[in-house]
Amino acid sequence: MSNQLLRVSGLSAGTEDKPILHDVSLAVGAGETHVLMGPNGAGKSTLGHVIMGDPAYQVSSGTIEFDGKDVTEDAADKRSLAGIFLSYQAPVEVPGVPLYSYLRTITQKRPELKMTARKFRARVGEIADQLDMGSSFLTRELNVGFSGGEKKKIEMLQLLLLRPKLAILDETDSGLDVDALSVVSRGIETYRADCDGALLVITHNTRILERLKVDRTHVMVQGHLVAEGPASLIDSIDEHGFEQFEKASAVAGGERA
Amino acid sequence: MSERTEKRTQVADVDRSLYDFTYSEEGYERYEDGLTPDIVRAISEKKDEPQWMLEMRLAALDTYHAKEMAPNWGPSIAGLDMDHISTYVSPRTKQAKSWEDVPDDIKNTFERLGIPEAERESLAGVGAQYDSEIVYHNMREEVAKDGVVYTTIEDALHDPQWEPVVHEYFGTLIPPADHKFAALHYAVWSGGSFVYVPAGVTVEYPLQSYFRLNAEGAGQFEHTLIIVEEGADLHFIEGCSAPKYYEANLHAGAVELFVKDGARLRYSTIENWSKNMYNLNTKRARVGADAKMEWVSGSFGSHVSYLYPTTILQGARSSCEFSGITFAGATQDLDTGCKVILNGPHTTASMDTKSISKDGGCNTFRSSVVIGRRAEGARATVSCQSLMLDDISRSDTIPAMDVRNATASVGHEATIGRISDDTVLYLMSRGCTEAEARTMVVGGFANPVSKELPLEYAVEMNNLIKLEMEGAIG
Ligand SMILES: Nc1ncnc2c1ncn2[C@@H]1O[C@H](COP(=O)(O)OP(=O)(O)O)[C@@H](O)[C@H]1O
Ligand SMILES: [Mg+2]
């Protein structure tokens, strides 16, 4: 496993006045599926944001390498073009920007996705169909007035269109009804199958994992990665919750202090 | 000047030289700077006007001199030295009906602005003014067959059929004594458009007049007079631009719009002045029963603007919609807004405006709603949204209401927003640069206005927003 796609090493990060992540190390190989679990407020979203390059957080130590390059200092747009994708827990609304032209813009930023306007239209239509999105979605404004589930579908639409090497899905499944959940699951499967992309899935819900072959599971508590294991770790968490790890984290935190 | 042809509709490829080019005014007829009865007489004589017009000009000149220079409530116009503004600059050319007959430098100007192309593709008629005179005017034959008249005021004054009509309407909606620069306008007006749409006629495609001020240190004082008769329907588009100079330029046009019973007029404007321009423009519409006035206005550029299109809803159940946007960047102080006077019963007005302030630019939005005593059940809503792109810019909203009928209602809402970091992150994490992300958000903010414009103009407006976001317009 020397050729990792993503390698986070000794990463500590937080906001200006609050450390959130402590000495986090994690590696994801190309095409692998990893799961990140942990109680609310553990720092999972923060880790996703820091990997994406959200300037709201400062890295105080450690590095993030992606595809063989150190991207710790890179802005989010550079990381995106390098192949990192983050599906947001709460995608923002951008009034007045039509979804379709937005999709065209972000696709055209990528030389490897160069296609004619006509081909692009067909491609977007195809993905929208896969995700059970009506064609009226595309003429609407980016995320504006969409339900939580619909916004997650729009995230999946972008994922399938942009074909990143790594997708971090931050609770893409939470708050979805059964139908939306199965659509999103199908989207993830398609991403795995068509793009051979790697996944880092942040979730509370094991349902979304049922149809995925999980390679590794990570557990985060209070900003520490406290456990890492095979897919079976998920079942253990399902049964016993995070309590077992919370003690470990208290110890880790205590050692630090 | 190089002969590169630029395509105005090419959004991806923004070229800052698009508006900012000039041609020499060598050989042009330029009247002395400053304002004297002699200059006014010379303009009138050159136009071979009826006596009443000359008298109106001279009376307006007296009014101009009698009125105080600066209003004490808006941006400073101290930089405007009227002794150094030439009020009349005429390219030495006759008005042409074919672009072939327009001199090359002037034709190139309009080619670069995309006017002939737009005419071929989507307009019913075009007028193009260069400095003080209209250099090109043409209208599709089928429109003329319906009895629609689209010409210059000068030509209408020479036509025995239309001279009395101009006489009847000209200067009645915006009287010369309205304010100092209205008086100036009537003293030295030149060029502009006269449009007459007969009762019941729907003009399928828009008519467009484009005003280009090329000469340095000059003024442009075009007059637009539009009469839309009962049940008729017209979309008129006004475009304006000027290159950058170091001396102040002045624009003091007047637009008088008469919308008769049951008629509809849409008046769309894209103004893109250079940042040495004082834009002191006056626009007013009077609307008859069951008629509708629609304004769409995009104001870019100018150093100082005073601009408040006014609608008088005179007839019962008449209505007006205003949607406008202004963009103030560095060195700009734009005082804009809109006014509506609801006189008829059950009249309705809705005004939706947006302003963007950046790099220390200053936007002041004034709205004025007056509801008259007879205006039973009248309703007016004003909404003003401001977007501030940094902490050094300014945005103020000054609403005024005067409601004299107890059954009427007025609503007002104003918001000031900024681009959130979350939004910038979202767009950047999908591959946009920070600048692209901001431009996209600003374009989205402007979208409710630009989508009211015909496609080419919406594209032009987006283009202008891009240029402003890059700080590229001089
Ligand atoms: N931008 C921020 N400013 C201040 N506190 C934050 C910020 N982002 C996250 N936090 C705090 O960091 C902790 C971890 O949050 P988060 O990463 O959202 O957890 P999770 O996704 O695991 O539920 C929480 O206590 C949260 O309040
Ligand atoms: Mg979270």
Candidates B235, B153, B156, B234; CA nearest to B199 is: B234
Residue A20 Cβ < 6 Å to ligand 1: yes
User: Hey, CA dihedral for B120, B121, B123, B127, is it positive or negative?
Assistant: negative
Centre of ligand 2 to C-alpha A203, Å, is: 9
Check: CB of residue B351 under 8 Å from CB of residue B319: no
Please state the domain extents for chain B.
3-469
What is the per-residue pLDDT across B343-361, written as a single tens digit (0 to 9) for each?
999 999 999 999 999 999 9
Measured in angstroms, how far is the CA atom of residue A12 from the centroid of ligand 1? 14
Ordered by start, the domain boundaries in chain A are 4-89+165-256
CA angle B383, B385, B388 (to 5 degrees): 165
Q: Do A55 and B429 touch (CB under 8 A)?
A: no
- Nearest-CB residue to A94 (from B423, B428, B446): B423
Q: Which residues pair with B195 in a beta bridge?
A: B150, B226
**CB < 8 Å to B433, chain A:** 77
- Give the mean pLDDT of B68-91: 81
What is the mean predicted confidence (pLDDT) over A214-233?
A: 93
Check pocket membership of A222 for ligand 1, CB cut-off 6 A.
no
Residues of chain B contacting residue A97, judged by C-beta atoms under 8 Å apart: 440-441, 443-444, 447
Chain A window 88-147: which residues touch B at a Cβ cutoff of 8 Å? 88, 91-92, 94-98, 102, 105-106, 109-110, 141-142
Q: Mark yes or no for CB contact B432/A106 under 8 Å.
A: yes
pLDDT above 70 for A231: yes
- pLDDT surpassing 90 at residue A246: no
The pLDDT tens digits for A159-179 are 999 999 999 999 998 888 888
Per-residue pLDDT at A241: 84
**What is the per-residue pLDDT for B68?**
82
Distance CA B474, CA B471 (A): 8
B43: number of Cβ within 10 Å: 22
Contact B444 A97 (CB under 8 A): yes
Q: Closest ligand to A171 CA?
A: 2
Which residue CA neighbors atom 13 of ligand 1 most closely? A41
| Model pLDDT, residue B4 | 38
- Name the closest residue on chain B to residue A111, using Cα atoms: B431
Q: Are B19 and B272 in contact (CB under 8 A)?
A: yes
Q: What is the mean pLDDT of chain B?
A: 88
Distance in Å, CA A245 to ligand 1 centroid: 19
Q: Is the CB of A16 under 6 A from ligand 1?
A: no
Predicted confidence at residue A254, as pLDDT, reads 46
Task: Tell which one of A11, A35, A45, A54 to mutate to probe ligand 1, the residue whose CB is within 8 A of the most ligand atoms.
Answer: A45
Distance A4 CA to ligand 2 centre (A): 25
Which positions in chain A touch B425 (Cβ < 8 Å)? 49, 52, 54-56, 76
Q: Which atom of ligand 1 is nearest to the CA of A44?
A: 22
Judged by CB atoms closer than 8 Å, whether chains meet at B421 and A56 is answered as: yes
Map tokens 């009138």 to a residue.
B44
Q: pLDDT tens digits, residue range A118-139?
A: 999 999 999 999 999 987 889 9
pLDDT tens per residue, range B400-424:
999 999 999 999 999 999 999 999 9
**Helix axis angle, A178-190 relative to A148-162, nearest 10°?**
10
Helices (H), chain A: 44-52, 76-82, 99-108, 117-130, 136-139, 148-162, 178-190, 232-240, 243-256
Q: Is the pLDDT of residue B464 over 60?
A: yes
**Residue to substitute from B356, B419, B426, interface A, most A β-carbons within 10 A:** B426
Per-residue pLDDT tens over the stretch A100-112:
999 999 999 999 9
The reported pLDDT for the residue numbered B103 is 81
Q: What is the pLDDT of residue B129?
A: 83
Q: Is the CB of A45 under 6 A from ligand 1?
A: yes
Q: What is the CATH number of domain A4-89+165-256?
A: 3.40.50.300
pLDDT digits (tens, 9 = 90+) for B102-117: 888 778 878 877 788 8
Optimal mutation site among B385, B418, B425, interface A, most CBs of chain A within 10 A? B425
If you measure from the C-alpha of residue A45 to the centroid of ligand 2, how many angstroms do you get, rounded to a whole number?
A: 4
Task: Please give the pLDDT value at position B465.
Answer: 87
A50 interaction partners in chain B (CB closer than 8 Å): none
- The pLDDT of residue A2 is 47
CB distance B234 to B203 below 8 Å: yes
Q: Do A200 and A168 meet the contact criterion of CB atoms below 8 Å apart?
A: yes
Quickly state the pLDDT bin for A251 (edges 50, 70, 90).
Answer: low
Are B428 and A97 in contact (CB < 8 Å)?
A: no
Find out whether the beta carbon of A41 lies less than 6 Å from any atom of ligand 1. yes
- Residue A8's pLDDT band (boundaries 50, 70, 90)? very high
**ipTM of the complex in this document:** 0.95
* B431 with A94: Cβ contact below 8 A: no
Q: Please tell me the distance between residue A142's alpha carbon and the centre of ligand 2 in angstroms.
A: 22
B292 confidence band (pLDDT: 50, 70, 90): very high
